[in-house]
Structure 1
Amino acid sequence: MTTVLLLRHGETTWNREGRMQGWAPTPLTDRGREQARRAGTAIAAAYDVDRVVASDLRRTRETTAELLGTLDVEPTFDRRWRERSFGELQGLTVEEVFEGHPEYSLLHAGVAGAQATPPCGESLIDTRERVVDGWEALVAEAAPDETVLVVTHGGPLFLLLAYVRGQDFETAMAEGWPENTGLAEFYVRRTEDGVTVDVRRDGEPLHEPVADHDDTHPAGREEGTAAVTERVADGDGVDPESE
């Protein structure tokens, strides 16, 4: 049986401001870094992680750097685990997007909202196809007894839970959004009839909550974990493949 863990990144500056991040190179806050450290400690205590795969965006790279303080596994980066690209809507608040552009809202537009594509961005359906492609590739190459940790974003985590459970977008959305450093746990079994997946955790953090701090500095603190960060981040911390 293969175990796949999906972890959402730690809190970022734009999480605090309620902004749509998409592919923006937003840094973790101090609270987000502490969330990631606690997540790493909790995961190391509960699982024997063999492999770490992460989205290549800045916030997942920084989260991965903190995790590696306790998970001594060399990560690989895969852009298929990126958040949805919001294109020209990136940086707007959630209210500005869904009140000013209800055509992208599942609540207001239903299935049409999942099909709508922001200028220079991705539709929710396009994002799901990308994430499912990453999931299927990971499952196909994973060893039967392997434990793989994927460091990703709220969107891919939500979309994969819905896909595995056979839920429509509206039903899955009604069940809530994963918290920062929320963890989902999937058990993958291969049989003569194909692959079956059981969900054991669906996005709640494994660690104790981290106290809220008023930490919205724009640059983050890359030097705080410099020795580890060198293993996972490019020099300036900006996403290496962002368009």
Structure 2
Amino acid sequence: MVDSAQARRILLLRHGVTGWNADGRYQGQTDIELAETGHQQAKAAAHALGTTYAVTRIVSSDLMRTQQTAAYVAEETGREVALDPRLREVCAGEAEGLNRAQILDRFGEMPASWEPYGGESWPTVAARFSAAVNDVAQSVAPGETVVVVAHGGAIRQGVAAFLGWDASVVATLAPLPNCSWIELLASDTAHGLIPSAPWRLATYATGAPIS
């Protein structure tokens, strides 16, 4: 049972949908704005988070789509947004702007790493993202809920690294829908959890419908 009043939470929220998301194009670190539907999703998610949790802080990737999403959470909760570039999506190099069929046509396969194509490897993303989440985790006081606004691929890789999972586990996690979130809960605010697991995955891919 969790002591709700003293719980230490981190909520990792994926940004709202963009035009490139809708077209199936890989965005990476290309700075794309939210589509109109993305704005609606972000507003709905922000309202759900603001009414469900006592949000105390907001940290966001510095890319436009995450900043726009975070702005709705800030408006709903009255909290300011701190930016951290370590929360950016993977840099996909030459693949950015392409859809899956175009990537297969150009490279012959879906690369396991974007490094040979001017981008990043997934372990690099996992390391920088998990470092950012660890910094947040170290400063979350009892009763605090921090919202981290970021990107689908980076969230999955970074959360797995932060929780100490083997990288192969990431492939078993379903993709996060736009504007859904993951809840991480500190073990010291729950009963019956082993001390060697200071944080646990409490919920996955929670979302809020557009009204």
Matched, 1:126 2:116: no
Give the whole-Å Cα distance in 2 for the aligned partners of 1:30 and 1:138.
Answer: 30
Give the total of aligned pairs: 200
Matched, 1:17 2:19: no
> What amino acid is aligned across from residue 96 of structure 1 in structure 2?
Q
Instruction: State, as a whole percentage, how many aligned pairs show the same letter.
Output: 29
Please point out which of 36, 43, 53 is paired with 2:49.
43
> What amino acid is aligned across from residue 78 of structure 1 in structure 2?
D
**Corresponding residue number in structure 1 for 2:148:** 150
**Corresponding residue number in structure 2 for 1:218:** none
Q: Structure 2 length as normaliser, TM-score? A: 0.85
Q: Does structure 1 conserve the Cα–Cα contact (< 8 Å) formed by 2:103 and 2:109?
A: no
Please point out which of 72, 81, 84 is paired with 1:75.
81
Q: Does structure 2 conserve the Cα–Cα contact (< 8 Å) formed by 1:39 and 1:181?
A: yes
Please point out which of 158, 179, 182 is paired with 1:181.
179
> What amino acid is aligned across from residue 203 of structure 1 in structure 2?
A
**Corresponding residue number in structure 1 for 2:205:** 203
Q: Does structure 1 conserve the Cα–Cα contact (< 8 Å) formed by 2:187 and 2:195?
A: no
Q: Shift in Å at residue 132 of structure 1?
A: 1.1
> Which of structure 1's runs of 4+ aligned residues deviate more than 6 A?
none
Name stretches of at least 5 consecutive residues in structure 2 with no aligned partner: 1-6
Give the whole-Å Cα distance in 2 for the aligned partners of 1:19 and 1:94.
Answer: 7
Give the whole-Å Cα distance in 1 for the aligned partners of 2:151 and 2:68.
Answer: 13
Q: Does structure 2 conserve the Cα–Cα contact (< 8 Å) formed by 1:83 and 1:154?
A: yes
Q: Shift in Å at residue 94 of structure 1?
A: 2.5
Give the whole-Å Cα distance in 2 for the aligned partners of 1:98 and 1:197.
Answer: 38
Give the whole-Å Cα distance in 1 for the aligned partners of 2:108 and 2:135.
Answer: 34
Q: Shift in Å at residue 188 of structure 1?
A: 1.6
Task: Point out the more displaced range, 92-101 or 18-27.
Answer: 92-101
**Which structure 2 residues correspond to residues 90-239 of structure 1 after superposition, within 5 A?**
90-98=96-104, 100-101=106-107, 104-105=110-111, 113-114=112-113, 117-163=115-161, 164=163, 166-169=165-168, 171-190=169-188, 196-205=198-207, 207-208=208-209, 210=210
**Corresponding residue number in structure 2 for 1:58:** 64
Question: How large is the RMSD of aligned CA atoms in angstroms?
Answer: 2.3
- SS at structure 1 position matched to 2:25: coil
